[in-house]
Each structure stands twice: as C-alpha cells, then as structure tokens.
Amino acid sequence: MFCTFAGMLKDIRQVDVTEITSFVKAQGEKPFRGRQIMEWLWKNGVTDFDRMSNLPARLRESLKEHFTLSGLLIKTEQISKDKTRKFGFRCPDGLIVEGVQIPSQGRVTACLSSQVGCPLNCSFCATASLKSRRNLSAGEIFDQVILLQDASQEAYGTHLSNHVFMGMGEPLLNYDSVTGAISHMTSEKGLGISPRRITLSTAGLTKGITRLAREKVKFNLAISLHTANDLKRSSLMPVNKSNPLPELAESLKLFYQETGTRISYEYLLMKDFNDSLRDARELAAFCKITPCKINLIEYNEVEGSIHHKTTPEKMQAFVDFLESLNMIVNIRRSRGQDIDAACGQLACKSG
C-alpha cells in the first residue's frame, strides 16, 4: 500500500494526511502521529526523518523503510552590488533550479521557480535557452521558500515579505504542484503566509487562468503581457498563438469576476518594439477589461536576443500617457542584473 517495489519508495510529501494517518495506525501508533508528521513536513520544512524528534525511533525507522524524503540543497550563491541574492538549488536528481531574494525598503521578496527550464521559448527570456527538463514537485517548490526564508533571517533578521512565482518555468504548466505548494505555504498547519503576499505570474495560459478562477484562489495573479498586439505578442511569445489576446481577456474577466482580485500586468519595455505611444494605447485598451495595475519593467539584456532596453525618455512618455488615462502604473527597476538575477535572466549561470 505504501510502496511499489524495491528501490521505488513513495515521496512522503506527495502523500496527504489521510494516507499518513492510515500508515501510522498500521504501525501500531496513535492517529495524532500523522498530524505530527505533516507538521514536521509543512510547518517546519524538515527533509530528514531523523529530525522528527517527537516521533518514536521505531516510527522514524518505519518511515525510512516506506517513504523517501529529500529536499533541495543550496549549491551556489551570488550577491549583487544592489544586495539581490541569487541561489542555485540542487534537486535530488542533480538538476539545478534558481531562486532569487530581493531586499528593498525593509521588505524581502522571494522569486520562486516552478520548473527546471521552461518550454515556452519566449524570445526575451534567457531561461528559454535551457532545455526544458521537468516540473518541480510541491515539495521542491516549498523547499525554495524554506531555504530563502532561512537566508533572509540570516542576512536581514527578518521573514520574507512577499513570494512571487516569476522564476524559471511557467507555473500554470505545473498547476497541481504550484497550487499544492501554495496551499501548504498559506495553511495554518503550514507556514501561515497570507495569500495576498503571494503572486503567480503566467505567460497567459487561458485554461489555467480559468481553473484558478473556478477555484476562487486568494493569491494574486500577474500576466506577463509585454504587448497588447496579437501579431507582436505571437512573435515574442509563441504561447500566444494558442492563447490569443481575445481568449486571454475572457479568462481574465472571469478571474476578476470569481475572485475580486485586481490583475497585474508585467510589461518589459523594449526599444522600437513595444515602447511607442501606439503600443501604450493598445495596452491601455486591453487592460481596461478589469481593475488592474501595470508594472513597467526595464528590459535586461539577454545574450542572443534581438531586443534592447528602451530610452528613459520613451519610458517616461509611456508612463505619462497611461497615467493620463488614470491607470495605476509602477516602474520596476532592474535588480541583480550584474549576477544574471533580474527579470528574464535566470539561466543557471554561476558567474
């Protein structure tokens, strides 16, 4: 029941509390031991059965015999001149995934990955240069939170303030693991993080957005938009061909209708591609489908890309036009660019 055959034990972090409780009862233990195990896994974030110190030694040995438990390890760490920190996490199978810690004005944001590599092949993103290997498990996503939390406490003496799924991979292609990890992050029996402190960023997979809407999720949604012109967007982001802007708009209207949560739009300003006033007008027309905010992002140069950063003058004109229409606009400056940790730069380079 609890394992398949020799050498293929089940990952305990893919087991729910009901199955864990059944297991401990089968070992002759009281049902409350199941709750203790889940607390060790999802509240304390342990990745070693021997650290479950309030369990009987006999039960810990039984857990080792029937389940696996392993986590991410920090392989590399780089610190930017602006104090941004990039971590290379080694998965149990040896693959590397990156996460970023961004301190600013008394807050620390964790940028989390959902996949090893990414299959979307967006032309502005360095992660597209990597081979798409696999989805991360809910446990591996959760590990990033724990490791970045510990690093934040050590470096700044404070908890992480915000968590954004803006690292490697497309979260909605790993829907169950990402939402499962978020469930443990926000649960009172887990880390107790407010869902309003969590943002999932997607390239615009309409079926996934619709599912989020139907499930009435409480966390924030950001759309990696970058242009509101269908032809341009398809050339920039191939995923747009199967998720065109009219369909994306319908899924976003449903998301707002079901959750009441304002949409955020991420928009990289690229010279002579999407930085004209016509582009701003198209963006404004699209974004007015629901209450929203627009995050204009400095483009970070990526090796092999045809795109370049816009000028400060064009960026300001873009902002002024949107604000003249009473739209909420934020400018996000590049952080960690010198260590390839900025938006679109994650490609497992260790410097």
Residue 346 is assigned to a structural domain of this protein: no
* Cα–Cα distance for residue pair 142/69, rounded to 1 Å: 13
Confidence of residue 125 (pLDDT cuts 50, 70, 90): confident
Mean pLDDT, to the nearest integer, of 48-62? 97
Phi then psi for residue 27, to 5 deg, are -90, 5
**Rounded percentage of the chain residues whose pLDDT exceeds 70:** 92
CATH number (domain holding residue 46): 1.10.150.530
* Cα–Cα distance for residue pair 162/198, rounded to 1 Å: 6
Cβ atoms of 167 and 98 closer than 8 Å: yes
Statement to judge: residues 107 and 248 lie in one domain: yes
pLDDT of 236 > 80? The answer is: yes
pTM, two decimals, is 0.91
Question: Domain residues for 22?
Answer: 10-68
Mean pLDDT, to the nearest integer, of 53-57? 97
Mean pLDDT, to the nearest integer, of 121-142? 88
Confidence of residue 70 (pLDDT cuts 50, 70, 90): very high
Amino acid of residue 300: N
Statement to judge: residues 23 and 104 lie in one domain: no
Cβ atoms of 323 and 329 closer than 8 Å: yes
Residue 351: its pLDDT value, please? 46
- Active-site residue numbers? 98, 343
Mean pLDDT, to the nearest integer, of 63-82? 94
pLDDT of 274 > 70? The answer is: yes
Statement to judge: residues 42 and 178 lie in one domain: no
Segment 12-21 long-range contacts (CB within 8 Å, at least 24 positions apart)? 12/37, 12/41, 12/63, 12/67, 12/68, 12/69, 13/41, 13/69, 13/137, 13/138, 13/139, 13/142, 14/137, 14/138, 14/139, 15/67
Residue 163 is assigned to a structural domain of this protein: yes
143 exposure class (CB count in 10 Å sphere: 0-12, 13-18, 19+):
buried
Q: Pseudo-torsion of CA 196, 217, 152, 115, nearest 10°?
A: -140
Phi then psi for residue 36, to 5 deg, are -60, -45
Residue 49 is assigned to a structural domain of this protein: yes
Mean pLDDT, to the nearest integer, of 213-236? 97
Of the candidates 27, 49, 68, which is a domain's last residue?
A: 68
Cβ atoms of 174 and 132 closer than 8 Å: no
pLDDT of 59 > 70? The answer is: yes
The single residue listed with the structure tokens 């899924």 is 251
DSSP per-residue letters across 252-282: HHHHHHHH-PPEEEEEEEBTTTS-SHHHHHH
Statement to judge: residues 57 and 145 lie in one domain: no
Residue 340: its pLDDT value, please? 57
Residue 175 is assigned to a structural domain of this protein: yes
More confident of the two residues 46 and 299: 46
Q: In total, how many domains does the chain have?
A: 2
Statement to judge: residues 292 and 181 lie in one domain: yes
Residue 4 is assigned to a structural domain of this protein: no
Cβ atoms of 13 and 139 closer than 8 Å: yes
pLDDT of 311 > 70? The answer is: yes
* Mean pLDDT score across all residues of the chain: 92
Secondary structure class of 42 (helix, strand, coil):
helix
Of the candidates 68, 98, 117, which is a domain's last residue?
A: 68
* Cα–Cα distance for residue pair 295/298, rounded to 1 Å: 10
Residue 337: its pLDDT value, please? 61
Statement to judge: residues 242 and 297 lie in one domain: yes
- pLDDT tens string 162-184: 999 999 999 999 999 999 999 99
Q: Pseudo-torsion of CA 123, 126, 132, 133, nearest 10°?
A: -170
Statement to judge: residues 39 and 183 lie in one domain: no
Statement to judge: residues 93 and 226 lie in one domain: yes
Within 10 angstroms of residue 155's Cβ, the number of other Cβ atoms is: 14
Q: Which of 120-129, 177-186, 324-333 has the lowest mean pLDDT?
A: 120-129
Residue 95 is assigned to a structural domain of this protein: yes
How much of the chain is in helix, strand and coil states, percent to nearest 5? Answer: 40, 20, 40
Residue 43 is assigned to a structural domain of this protein: yes
Residue of 340, 318, 312 whose CA lies nearest to 267: 318
Residue 114: its pLDDT value, please? 97
Phi then psi for residue 275, to 5 deg, are -115, 15
CATH number (domain holding residue 206): 3.20.20.70
Amino acid of residue 200: L
Residue 3: its pLDDT value, please? 44
Mean pLDDT, to the nearest integer, of 74-98? 93
Residue 2: its pLDDT value, please? 45
pLDDT of 268 > 90? The answer is: yes
Statement to judge: residues 255 and 282 lie in one domain: yes
Statement to judge: residues 60 and 77 lie in one domain: no
Residue 116 is assigned to a structural domain of this protein: yes
- pLDDT tens string 93-118: 999 999 999 998 889 999 999 999 99
Statement to judge: residues 62 and 86 lie in one domain: no
Mean pLDDT, to the nearest integer, of 60-79? 95
Mean pLDDT, to the nearest integer, of 15-39? 96
Residue 269: its pLDDT value, please? 95
Statement to judge: residues 54 and 102 lie in one domain: no
Mean pLDDT, to the nearest integer, of 56-76? 96
